A and B are shown apart, each in its own frame.
Chain A
Amino acid sequence: MILRLSILHSLYFKLKTYMNDIDTQNIELQLLLQAVYLKYGYDFRNYAKASIKRRVQHRLSKDGFESISAMQNKVLYDVSFFETLLLDLSINVTEMFRDPKFYLALRKVIIPHLKKYPFLKIWHAGCSSGEEVYSMAIILKEEGLYDRTQIYATDMNEVVLKQAKDGIFNISRLKQYTANYQKAGGQESFSDYYTAHYDHAVMSKSLKKNILFSDHNLATDGVFGEMNLIICRNVLIYFNRDLQNRVLGLFSDSLPDDGFLCLGSKESIRFSAFSDSFSDIVREEKIYRKVDTIN
């Protein structure tokens, strides 16, 4: 009897959630993002809404909240719940040498240019759990550039940043990473770059020594130095046009003329406010170079 009642109860709440008008939910979502910003300083207000809304709705039904407003109460008063929601909202899916063709182009086309500089600064913006940062470090090592490079790897989420810093990855994924590495032009033995410990692979210390992992939020923080190369892949797709322009402005301000910018394969600078500031170097891989605009 009690079981049956509780089923009825949960059905009732499900029904109620669905009866909520979509417009009301949009208002609630706006209020929630405002609340998160005011209370915790994370600014999702200019993110593309569909993905955020979908993930909030899934958290809602998973934890049995009646509405986004009801969840907002919990977000404001329960820090650990907020941290859960933060992980829901920031997407941290990545892999080593994701899009091998991009890394091949990086090695063949960009590295020869970078060899001309006595010292290099590379900014990996939105580095998540670090897989692509280690990919870059491996290429730099093999091309003899690592020892004169400083890599700044930044993310807004301290949980994933800690994972990146630790450089410990699930061994089940290493097979795919090895295949990616080879497709990306890697000729060494990939297993030399990590040590296997039970079900984990620990990335070699020699890859970590010139990487500085630090907290930086593209939505709210500013420029912190002049870079030769900026990599920001599959981050801009989550932002609306305004925020995309803000971030591309940050990148433009962080690059000297001739500095390189690499975006994700489905991202483009062409429809942004900074289209004229960059020329295509490898068009299909979204590798750009800043042009001299003061003529």
Chain B
Amino acid sequence: MEFEAVVIGSSAGGIKALTSVLSALPSDFPLPIIIVQHLHPQSDSYLAKILESKSELRVKQADEKEVITNGMVYIAPPNYHLLIEDDKSFSLSIEGPVNFARPSVDVLFETAIYGYRDKIIAIILTGANHDGGVGVKKIKQNGGYIIVQTPESAEADAMPKAAIAATNVDKVLPLEQIGPFLLQLVNNSVKKYSNNFDKFGRR
């Protein structure tokens, strides 16, 4: 299976969890990573700055109509839903909160299927509500791959639990193993990286 994109949903405790995952990835990670982290509606773009300072990847807030580029990390802007179009570009929406959240993980995950079909790795991290459950179910039904943080290792376990209950997820891992596992999974799927796991994976 060759993957084309990674989508991540996180909420309460998410900044620490995202930092853990992203810091395990090398600067030449070959896929785009698209993140919905629940934030206060009036927060600015500080999350992208924090995550960029703690990883080797380039991190930015997603712009309307922006074409998604491999190796970039994109964060949904506060108070907007982030959607993925057929042509692998972003769009934004201010339609009402979904699962009390805007941005909502479900909205990102459901629309990721439009652009990436079955070539998606979806990750659910810590969070205190059920956002993401519908999204992982649909991604799984369309042939994507689902990784969930173990509820025990999550600061808030509702979101991982909801994802695990929603569908037959592929992998449930403690937080510190998610980054290395993701790298291995992607390296195995992309031929040119398949022999380099030790070099990049054991950091």
Task: List chain A positions with a Cβ less than 8 A from chain B.
Answer: 18, 22, 26, 48-51, 53-55, 57, 91, 93, 234, 237-238, 241, 266-268, 271
Contacts and interface: CB of A to CB of B under 8 A. Distances in A.
A238 B81 CA distance: 12
Nearest to A98: B94
Given A22-B117, A237-B91, A266 B64 contact: yes
B79 to A, nearest CB: 9
B107 A54 contact: yes
B68 interface: no
Contact of A49 (B85, B113, B141): B85
A267 B92 CA distance: 9
B140 to A, nearest CB: 10
Contact of A48 (B85, B95, B107, B117): B85
A271 B96 CA distance: 27
Given A54-B111, A237-B64, A26 B92 contact: no
A241 B65 contact: yes
Interface in B60-97: 63-65, 77, 80-81, 83-86, 91-96
Interface residues of A: mostly helix, strand, loop or mixed? helix
Contacts, number: 59
B120 to A, nearest CB: 12
| Interface hub of B64, B86, B107, B141 (most chain A Cβ within 10 A) | B64
Given A237-B64, A271-B65, A50 B83 contact: yes
Interface string B137-157: 000011000000000000000
Contact of B93 (A26, A51, A267, A268): A51
A57 to B, nearest CB: 8
B86 A26 contact: yes
Contacts of A55: 95
Contacts of B141: 18
B56 interface: no
A131 B74 CA distance: 32
Most buried by A among B81, B93, B115, B117: B93
Contact of B110 (A49, A54, A266): A54
28 contacts: A18-B141, A18-B142, A22-B114, A48-B83, A48-B91, A49-B86, A50-B85, A50-B86, A50-B91, A50-B114, A50-B115, A51-B83, A51-B91, A53-B111, A54-B83, A54-B107, A54-B110, A54-B111, A57-B110, A91-B95, A93-B94, A93-B95, A93-B96, A234-B94, A237-B94, A266-B80, A266-B92, A267-B64
Contacts of B110: 54, 57
B77 A238 contact: no
Given A18-B141, A266-B77, A49 B93 contact: no
A238 B86 contact: no
Given A54-B111, A266-B64, A266-B77, A91 B85 contact: no
Given A18-B141, A22-B117, A48-B83, 19 more contacts: A26-B86, A48-B85, A49-B85, A50-B85, A50-B111, A50-B115, A51-B83, A53-B111, A54-B83, A57-B110, A93-B94, A237-B92, A237-B93, A238-B93, A266-B63, A266-B80, A266-B92, A268-B64, A271-B65
